[in-house]
A and B are shown apart, each in its own frame.
Chain A
């Protein structure tokens, strides 16, 4: 039987496109870096193009830009209310970057930057540190209230504080891991299901294989649709959790 090369992990290989060494540190321009830069340029380019000549009655492209902005601003407004206004640009940047990187990854032969924990983990740690810095800056020592929920009897409070510390420390891991694991797992599943088609044709002969492949193909289409949904949903969840965590920094102890 012939072998068909369908290594589902091959798509996650980071390759150097441009060798760069600065003081012994490898900062080569990789395919991952390229798709991140491409995503950022696409976002900036789209908004510059869509809002180049804004009108009171918006055109289609302007509507899209406004809905995009309004969606993110709506999240911040719902979670953080008026206090969240300064954080709209931050949450908008995070949401747009993750969303566009995820969608770019859905294109054939494209690289999914968000399927690497280095990328998602960096964003998660940044969010985590930002929450700590803003919390301490705005509230000083009162920020420690985030570990002390109100209305808990003193005899179990010490235990609840330990749990809250664990919960707080698990946030960056949870944020980074969810995005990375979903993108990785989804793309592996996609590749494996799609790989069934050539494997069946090789294994069962052309006619039999084609019949079987026709049964597999709807599944592949379904998984692709699901992945498009997940690409949006993961950006949405990351944005919403950033807001929820920022809310803790602004109002510690106000669960």
Chain B
């Protein structure tokens, strides 16, 4: 039942509660087992037809934009903080800050490229036609 609840995402946990369950449980023998099996089978067939749903991995375009912008800025800030920390520890001002800031910038660009690549891959059908 739990596997079914997860595959057919619209059934919440605890769906086996009385009055909710698909099995009627007459005389200790759940009549609905056949129905449950058929639903599970139909759901599996639907899943196989639809292929993995990609939209949730990349999200709508606006969400993707928010992700990229924040990932880019965050990497640069982390670079600056790390460089600052290294300089304070090793008294190497300003070389730690300079090198880590550049590394942070590279990381930021790399984050954006990777997110965009994943999104492109997810939104391209397997046959290659966009």
Contacts and interface: CB of A to CB of B under 8 A. Distances in A.
A234 B70 CA distance: 12
A145 interface: no
Interface residues of A, number: 41
Interface in B1-52: 2, 6-7, 9-15, 17, 19-20, 22, 52
Contacts of B107: 163, 166-167, 170
Contacts of A66: 10-12
A236 B19 CA distance: 32
Interface string B81-94: 01000000000000
Contacts of B54: 78
A237 B62 CA distance: 10
Contact of A163 (B7, B59, B103): B103
B130 interface: no
B12 A51 contact: yes
B71 A55 contact: no
Contact of B63 (A70, A169, A173, A233): A233
A240 B62 CA distance: 14
A177 interface: yes
A237 B66 contact: yes
Given A55-B20, A56-B22, A79 B56 contact: yes
B95 interface: no
B116 interface: no
A20 B74 CA distance: 35
Given A54-B19, A170-B107, A67 B10 contact: yes
Interface string A163-199: 1001101110111011001100000000000000000
A75 interface: yes
Contact of B66 (A51, A74, A171, A233): A233
Contact of B56 (A67, A74, A88): A74
Nearest to B108: A170
A169 B78 contact: yes
A167 B12 CA distance: 36
A51 to B, nearest CB: 7
Contacts of B6: 73, 77, 82, 85, 88
Interface string A30-70: 00000000000000000000010111100000000111011
A241 interface: yes
11 contacts: A54-B15, A55-B20, A74-B53, A77-B6, A77-B7, A166-B78, A167-B110, A170-B77, A170-B104, A178-B69, A236-B63
